[in-house]
């Protein structure tokens, strides 16, 4: 079983490895950094620690308006090369355990855009307990699909190219 944090960007569901999340906090004041790339929302003071905040939706180019329940997932320092870093998501739903049988890994051949950072697709059964929500309208048959993204790979790429 794999533990992941399930969250929302746009109106789609995503997941990331729970080991990379230090904590989840409510949206708080963020100080804009002039001339920073548009995906860097700014910095915040989290209990005395200056933390850089990245707008994940802008970074991976997910369309849609921001939700009313935005949260910041603060990452463990090891995930961001020792830096204090948080990512803005539209909402955090839950921590879920996923069987490896419910994950379809991405083809290595798909490497453009967001697909370069997708570890796999998590397939949840339609009747999986309290995970079934009214906001999944329009999905027929097989249940929900969640994009399992590789936050570590995204951040490593930003550091490697000097963009964070």
Task: Give the span between the Cα atoms of 75 and 80, in whole angstroms.
Answer: 7
Percent of the chain whose pLDDT exceeds 70? 81
CA–CA distances in Å: residue 99 to residues 27, 66, 129, 160: 31, 30, 15, 32
For residue 53, is pLDDT > 50? yes
- Of the candidates 158, 121, 161, 160, the one whose C-alpha atom is nearest the C-alpha of residue 142 is 121
For residue 153, is pLDDT > 60? yes
21-26 vs 71-75, strand pairing mode: antiparallel
Task: Please report, for the chain, the start and end positions of each structural domain, with discontinuous segments joined by +.
Answer: 2-127+140-160
Task: Give the span between the Cα atoms of 90 and 125, in whole angstroms.
Answer: 23
Identify the CATH number of the domain defined by range 2-127+140-160. 2.40.50.180
For residue 56, is pLDDT > 60? yes
Mean pLDDT on 111-135:
64
For residue 55, is pLDDT > 90? yes
Outline where the chain has alpha helix (H).
56-59, 151-160
Task: Give the span between the Cα atoms of 81 and 94, in whole angstroms.
Answer: 26
pLDDT for the residue numbered 23: 94
pLDDT for the residue numbered 133: 40
Whether residue 57 contacts residue 88, with contact meaning beta carbons closer than 8 Å, is answered with yes
Task: Give the span between the Cα atoms of 140 and 136, in whole angstroms.
Answer: 9
Whether residue 88 contacts residue 53, with contact meaning beta carbons closer than 8 Å, is answered with yes
Buried b (16+ CB within 10 A) or exposed e, 61-77: ebeeebeeebbbbbbee
Q: What's the chain's average pLDDT?
A: 83
């Amino acid at each position: 079983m794999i533990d992941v944090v399930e969250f929302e960007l746009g109106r789609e569901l995503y997941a990331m490895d729970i080991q990379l999340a230090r904590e989840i906090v409510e949206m708080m004041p963020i100080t804009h950094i002039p001339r920073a790339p548009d995906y860097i929302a700014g910095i915040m003071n989290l209990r005395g620690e200056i933390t850089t905040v990245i707008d994940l939706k802008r970074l991976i180019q997910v369309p849609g308006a921001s939700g009313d329940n935005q949260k910041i997932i603060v990452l463990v320092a090891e995930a961001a090369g020792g830096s204090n870093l948080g990512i803005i998501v539209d909402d955090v739903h839950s921590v879920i355990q996923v069987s490896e049988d419910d994950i379809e890994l991405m083809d290595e051949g798909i490497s453009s855009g967001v697909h370069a950072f997708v570890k796999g697709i998590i397939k949840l059964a339609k009747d999986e307990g309290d995970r079934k929500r009214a906001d999944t309208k329009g999905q027929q048959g097989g249940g929900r699909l969640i994009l399992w993204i590789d936050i570590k790979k995204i951040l490593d790429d930003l550091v490697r190219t000097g963009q964070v």
